């Protein structure tokens, strides 16, 4: 009996050990299967290198139906050259009524009208800026809203008189199609105003006529608005010609322009 009892005890211990390990083995196998069937499939869908499955790095190209142009007065300063006033602009192109801007290819022409003494019947632009189609892609830049195009419109050297300028942009696609024209916007180009502008602080005494010339109270200030500063744009070579009172400027960019605003 003793010889039979000992093997039975050993067999019982082995069975108990297997029963204890069975749930652990099943749990481990189940987790591995879940990882293969669930997590791995999800990882493949997410595309880990991009991080976001719906991200679109390449803007979609299309035929524009409308454009939105925003302009701001600017001053460009380049080493060894006199600073010049002008307008920095960004244009978005849209296809149909979509909210996302598209990538385009074509020629852009911007017409500028000096509103100083301009008659309502005078439709001749003061200046005309041409951005050729072969260089249009160099103006492309990214923004939070999507792909956009940045431009610089030189007007004159800094120190000129304050001027009101109206701007209208026209885009002609390379592949043909409908001409796209922006809405007309009127911009103020800061500069020297006609006559001296005197600013008096409220509650202070006015200058005494008996005081010597050039002597003024501490509260007296004399100022004239200066041009707003603007980051340096890409180097631009301009070729200007005058035809029937209109100045046409064809703007060519270097091989590696810096983006406007950088």
CATH class, 66-191+226-252 region: mainly beta
Per-residue pLDDT of the chain (262 residues; tens, 9 = 90+): 555 555 555 555 554 454 455 555 454 555 445 445 554 444 444 444 444 444 456 778 888 999 999 999 999 988 888 889 999 999 999 988 777 899 999 999 999 999 988 888 888 999 999 999 999 999 998 888 899 999 999 998 888 889 999 999 999 999 877 899 999 999 998 888 765 445 555 555 555 555 455 444 444 344 444 444 333 333 333 333 334 445 555 544 444 444 444 4
DSSP secondary structure, 29-50, as one string: HHHHHHIIIIIHHHHHHHTTTT
Q: pTM of the full predicted structure?
A: 0.55
List all residues 6 or more positions away from 146 whose beta carbon is below 8 Å from its beta carbon.
59, 92, 100, 101
Phi and psi of 200, rounded to 5°? -110, 135
Question: Bridge-partner residues for 140, per DSSP?
Answer: 149
Cβ atoms of 150 and 261 within 8 Å: the answer is yes
Cβ atoms of 110 and 87 within 8 Å: the answer is no
């Amino acid at each position: 009996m003793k010889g039979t009892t000992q093997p039975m005890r050993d067999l019982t211990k082995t069975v108990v050990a297997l029963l204890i390990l069975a749930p652990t083995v099943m749990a481990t196998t189940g987790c591995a299967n879940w990882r293969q069937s669930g997590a791995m499939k999800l990882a493949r869908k997410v595309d880990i290198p991009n991080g976001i499955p719906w991200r679109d790095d390449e803007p979609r190209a299309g035929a524009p139906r409308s454009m939105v142009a925003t302009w701001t007065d600017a001053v460009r300063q380049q080493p060894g050259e006199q600073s010049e006033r002008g307008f920095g602009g960004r244009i978005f192109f849209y296809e149909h009524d979509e909210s996302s801007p598209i990538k385009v290819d074509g020629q852009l022409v911007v017409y500028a009208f000096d509103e100083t003494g301009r008659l309502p019947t005078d439709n001749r632009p003061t200046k005309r800026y041409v951005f050729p189609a072969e260089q249009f892609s160099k103006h492309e830049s990214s923004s939070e809203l999507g792909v956009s195009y940045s431009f610089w419109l030189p007007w004159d050297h800094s120190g000129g008189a304050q001027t009101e300028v109206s701007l209208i942009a026209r885009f002609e696609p390379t592949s043909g199609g409908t001409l796209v024209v922006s809405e007309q916007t009127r911009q103020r180009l800061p500069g020297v105003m006609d006559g001296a502008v005197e600013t008096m602080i409220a509650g202070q005494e006015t200058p005494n006529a008996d005081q010597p010339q050039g002597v003024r109270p501490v509260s007296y200030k004399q100022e004239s608005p200066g041009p707003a500063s603007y980051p340096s744009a890409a180097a631009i070579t301009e070729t200007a010609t005058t035809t029937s009172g209109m100045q046409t400027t064809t703007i060519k960019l270097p091989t590696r322009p810096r983006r406007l605003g950088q």
